[in-house]
Amino acid sequence: MPETASLTLPDGRTIELPVIVGSENEHAIDISRLRGETGYITIDDGFMNTGSCKSEITFIDGEKGVLRYRGYPVEDLAKNCSFVETAQLLIWGELPTPEARRDFSDLLTENSALPEDFRRHFTAFPVHAHPMSIMSAMINALQSYDLPGLIIDDEEEFERVSGALMSKVRTIAAAAYKSSIGEPIMYPRYDLRYVENFLHMMFSKPYRDYVPSAEATAALNLFFLLHADHEQNCSTSTVRMVASGQANMYASVAAGVCALWGRLHGGANQAVMEMLSFIQSSGMSVKDYVAKVKDRAEGIRLMGFGHRVYRAFDPRAVLLKDACDKLLNAMHIDDPRLEIAKQLEEAALSDDYFVSRKLYPNVDFYSGIILTALGIPVEMFTVLFAIGRVPGWIAHWKEIYDVPSTKIYRPRQVYTGSVRREWLNRFQREKGYTDSRGFKVPEELRPTQAPQADAVPPTN
């Protein structure tokens, strides 16, 4: 007999609700019948305890520090796969065969260049425009070129569109950066792989090619791989919500970019570098800064430590820390902020105040350091996060698209505003009158008749 959970309401009624068990033995109570049968809804601010969907893409066990893509531990993928292979796994559910890997790589290469007339759009943005605003706008505009019919008719068309979007987001990102610093937009190269091609478009000049080191390429490949998906976070939930209305892939991903832009989501690694810059410019020692964090009196926070999901060490942070150490040792970079970061890491990990609260360095702490070491400006941090997250967004869009019976996402609410009120004309509102449910102006102060002019509905 299927397992159920009993819910007893204040009026004594009881309803039996089905219990759903996931493949990793996660238990959930299905409340889809609750409102129809009882008139009640549930409320869960921030969706801390609410599952919005069933998904086969990513599994997280925050208590144990587990992250798996399609069943594969992220540690194994980081050791054995490239970002592109991982993208194929997320989107299609299986690791690619050598032939499928070559075909998709060719597809990315063939679709990496932007249409010539499309490139002119970059000049329409102010020089100081944020790259994330450019990216979201350009992805939407790109739909007109790559998916003019809006509807994806078959699997072959889906693969072409997915490859075109995944390839062109890095070209858009690099072009946005080049435009912001007044340099010519670089064309992608046919002979370079995904990550190397992006770094080429970011840092090459017409008269000098940029050749990244093996350590730089490996670190950025790992950064993209570890950001490829992370279950039902803010931006991914946004993509799924937009997709549930049968919006096309480009519109849904552009919405994800906008959601990711938020400081509490994709902007967290930027906050890490701003913290390190503050410590450097203030002349404050790491010891003093940590003391102020613990004191809480001045509102100083330790950015890049702790995570809403993970109560153990963030598995992505473990992997990025190793890549970060290798990169810094190989590049011999002289940046005081990176030294401050090392001291801050050591201080926090040896302090029981942070350890007892499970405030370990998270993925944003090490990713901010890596991107800085690669020469990526702070305002581009979230853009690179978006490049890495695109395969995950595409996978979630596909999960919605593959089930035509998917209902449009439409959450309920508990209304806490005013109850029904009586309409008052301008004269009454000017005199401070309220409706019959509020404060009443004394009778002797009320006029016998409101001005006739107010009987005419206002036009403004």
Least trusted range by pLDDT, from 194-208, 336-350, 419-433: 419-433
Strands (E), 22-168: 27-29, 58-61, 66-69, 72-73
pLDDT for 242 equals 97
**Residue where a domain stops, chosen among 13, 37, 66:** 66
**Residue where a domain stops, chosen among 66, 88, 120:** 66
Query: Same domain, yes or no, for 288 and 348?
Result: yes
The answer to whether residue 458 sits within a structural domain is no
**pLDDT grade for 449, boundaries at 50, 70 and 90:** low
pLDDT, averaged across the chain: 90
User: HSE of 75 in the Cβ direction (CA atoms, 13 Å)?
Assistant: 8
Q: What average pLDDT does this structure show over 141-159? A: 87
Least trusted range by pLDDT, from 383-387, 397-401, 452-456: 452-456
Query: Same domain, yes or no, for 190 and 55?
Result: no
Is residue 335 part of the annotated active site? The answer reads no
Query: Same domain, yes or no, for 121 and 175?
Result: yes
pLDDT for 425 equals 81
Query: Same domain, yes or no, for 62 and 77?
Result: no
- Distance CA(66)–CA(175), nearest Å, equals 36
The answer to whether residue 351 sits within a structural domain is yes
Q: Between the ranges 145-149, 390-394, 452-456, where is the mean pLDDT highest?
A: 390-394
Q: pLDDT tens-digit profile of 256-282?
A: 999 999 888 888 888 888 999 999 999
- Distance CA(409)–CA(407), nearest Å, equals 6
The answer to whether residue 20 sits within a structural domain is yes
Question: What b-and-e string marks burial along 341-373, b requiring 16 or more CB atoms within 10 Å of the CB?
Answer: beebbebbeebeebeeeebbbbbbbbbbbbbbb
- The string of DSSP letters for 190-255 reads TTS-HHHHHHHHHH-BTTB-----HHHHHHHHHHHHHTS--SS-HHHHHHHHHHHTT--HHHHHHH
- The string of DSSP letters for 237-251 reads HHHHHHHHTT--HHH
Q: What average pLDDT does this structure show over 429-434? A: 67
- Distance CA(294)–CA(316), nearest Å, equals 26
Q: 85: closest CA among 233, 236, 193, 197?
A: 193
pLDDT for 432 equals 65
The answer to whether residue 460 sits within a structural domain is no
The answer to whether residue 457 sits within a structural domain is no
- Distance CA(306)–CA(363), nearest Å, equals 9
Could you give the 3-state DSSP secondary structure of residue 122?
A: helix
DSSP state of 362: -
**Torsion angle defined by CA atoms of residues 362, 368, 374 and 379, in that order, rounded to the nearest 10 degrees:** 150
Query: Same domain, yes or no, for 58 and 99?
Result: no
**Residue where a domain stops, chosen among 24, 47, 66:** 66
Could you give the 3-state DSSP secondary structure of residue 123?
A: helix
Q: Which of 307, 351, 352, 402 is catalytic?
A: 307
Is the entire prediction scored with pTM above 0.85?
Answer: yes
DSSP state of 56: S
CA–CA–CA angle 129, 133, 136 (5° rounding): 150
Strands (E), 9-62: 14-21, 27-29, 58-61
Predicted confidence (pLDDT) at residue 440 exceeds the cutoff of 90 = no
pLDDT for 438 equals 56
Q: What average pLDDT does this structure show over 376-386? A: 94
Q: pLDDT tens-digit profile of 62-103?
A: 889 999 999 999 999 999 999 999 999 999 999 999 999 999
Predicted confidence (pLDDT) at residue 455 exceeds the cutoff of 70 = no
Query: Same domain, yes or no, for 387 and 240?
Result: yes
Largest separation between any pair of C-alpha atoms in the chain: 89
- Distance CA(115)–CA(136), nearest Å, equals 17
Count of domains observed in the chain: 3
Query: Same domain, yes or no, for 23 and 160?
Result: no
pLDDT for 454 equals 47
Query: Same domain, yes or no, for 87 and 219?
Result: yes
The residue assigned the tokens 């004394």 is 442
More confident residue, 49 or 459: 49
With residue 160 as reference, give the H or E element that holds it: helix 155-180
**pLDDT grade for 152, boundaries at 50, 70 and 90:** confident
Predicted confidence (pLDDT) at residue 412 exceeds the cutoff of 50 = yes
**pLDDT grade for 296, boundaries at 50, 70 and 90:** confident
The answer to whether residue 459 sits within a structural domain is no
Query: Same domain, yes or no, for 147 and 228?
Result: yes
Predicted confidence (pLDDT) at residue 205 exceeds the cutoff of 50 = yes
Domain of 447 in residue numbering reads as 426-452
Query: Same domain, yes or no, for 154 and 181?
Result: yes
Query: Same domain, yes or no, for 119 and 249?
Result: yes
Q: Which of 146, 227, 364, 396 is catalytic?
A: 364
Least trusted range by pLDDT, from 319-323, 332-336, 386-390: 332-336
CATH classification at residue 53 = 2.20.28.60
The answer to whether residue 167 sits within a structural domain is yes
CATH classification at residue 222 = 1.10.580.10
More confident residue, 380 or 457: 380
Q: What average pLDDT does this structure show over 331-356? A: 87
The answer to whether residue 257 sits within a structural domain is yes
Predicted confidence (pLDDT) at residue 206 exceeds the cutoff of 60 = yes
pLDDT for 68 equals 97
Is residue 121 part of the annotated active site? The answer reads no
Query: Same domain, yes or no, for 129 and 264?
Result: yes
Question: What b-and-e string marks burial along 37-69, b requiring 16 or more CB atoms within 10 Å of the CB?
Answer: eeeeeeeeeeeeeeeeeebebbbbbeeebbbbb
